Amino acid sequence: MINVEHLVKAFGPKLAVNDVSFSVERGEVLGFLGPNGAGKSTTMRMITGYYPPTSGRITVGGHDMVENPIAAKRLIGYLPENAPGYADMTVHGFLNFCAELRGLQGDARKRAVHRAVELCFLENVLYQSIDTLSKGYKHRTCLAQSLIHDPDVLILDEPTDGLDPNQKHEVRGLIKRLGESKVVIFSTHILEEVEAACSRVIIIDRGRIVASGTPAELKARSPEGKLDEVFRAITLPDTVKHDVHHEVHA
């Protein structure tokens, strides 16, 4: 479903993503793991068509993201990092706007908004403006936006960031459920999350894939069978000086 080949993204002399290749099929939940600034968000921004890649190729459902972006973007639901939303809109207005841009009209749009609201438990804040929402609700509003057109591909950048433990649990459950029929790629730096929700893990460090496999396979690499030991062994802490790789914010 998603095919990524030799993906490179350079910001000036800095290589934020350096030769990343992988593919994901329907029914898989792929976890992107990595320290801050490893290139997780940049990779996701390229897959969703926000950043054009410096080189390499991305196809989503057979559509090339660079050559045929509209067809590729239609298949994707995307939750960007920090869950942005139009501050002055109500949750209801915002979801309707997103549904309309997804080409949903009339009754189909009403049903889609209703379904997304139910999935993300937004009934209580439906007519509240987004800038008055708590972080958890704001996050779920943006998540609802990504689900509104029932996409085949879900790309979620830190979907549980800023949620309380109950909400985290719910979102993980949701990701797992959705992953049965869709392709889900999500990034995180919380290791338990990976074990709880992923069928496959890719660990990225300084723009490169340093490990990939099922959570069980990765755990087997450590003598005690702990994922965080594997993680620490193969990624460098960002306090270590390295010359080219820094968090890149554009």
Partner 1 sequence: MNSWANIRTIMKRELAGYFTSPIAYVFLVIFLLLTGFFTFTIGNFFERGEASLVSFFTWHPWLYLFLVPAAGMRLWSEERRLGTMELLLTMPVTNWQAIVGKFLASWLFLALALALTFPVAITVNYFGDPDNGVIFAGYVGSLMLAGSYLAVSCMTSAMTRNQVISFILSVMICLFLILAGYTPVTDLLSRFASPVVVDIVAAFSVMTHFEGFQRGVLDTRDVAFFASVIGFMLFVTGVIIRNQRAG
Strand duo 208-213 + 76-79: pairing: unpaired
Only one of the segments 18-26, 96-104, 116-124, 169-177 lies at the binding site for partner 1 (rule: CB under 8 A); that segment is: 96-104
User: Does residue 135 interact with partner 1 by CB under 8 A?
Assistant: no
Residues 144-203 that bind partner 1 (CB under 8 A): 145
For partner 1, the closer of residues 54 and 222 by Cβ is: 54
Three-class secondary structure of residue 195 per DSSP: helix
Least distance from C-beta 206 to partner 1, angstroms?
Answer: 17
User: Does residue 3 interact with partner 1 by CB under 8 A?
Assistant: no
Measure the N-to-C terminal CA separation of the chain; round to a whole number of Å.
28
User: Does residue 9 interact with partner 1 by CB under 8 A?
Assistant: yes
CA dihedral 135, 206, 202, 142 (to 10 degrees): 20
What are 70's two structure tokens? 């509209």
User: Does residue 244 interact with partner 1 by CB under 8 A?
Assistant: no
User: Does residue 50 interact with partner 1 by CB under 8 A?
Assistant: yes
The Cα angle at residue 50 between residues 45 and 53, in degrees rounded to 5: 75
User: Does residue 40 interact with partner 1 by CB under 8 A?
Assistant: no
Those residues with Cβ within 8 angstroms of residue 214's Cβ, 6 or more apart along the chain or in another chain: 199, 200, 201
* Chain positions contacting partner 1, by CB under 8 A: 9-12, 16, 45, 48-52, 54, 69-71, 73-74, 76, 78, 80-82, 84-89, 93, 97-98, 100-103, 129, 142, 145, 250
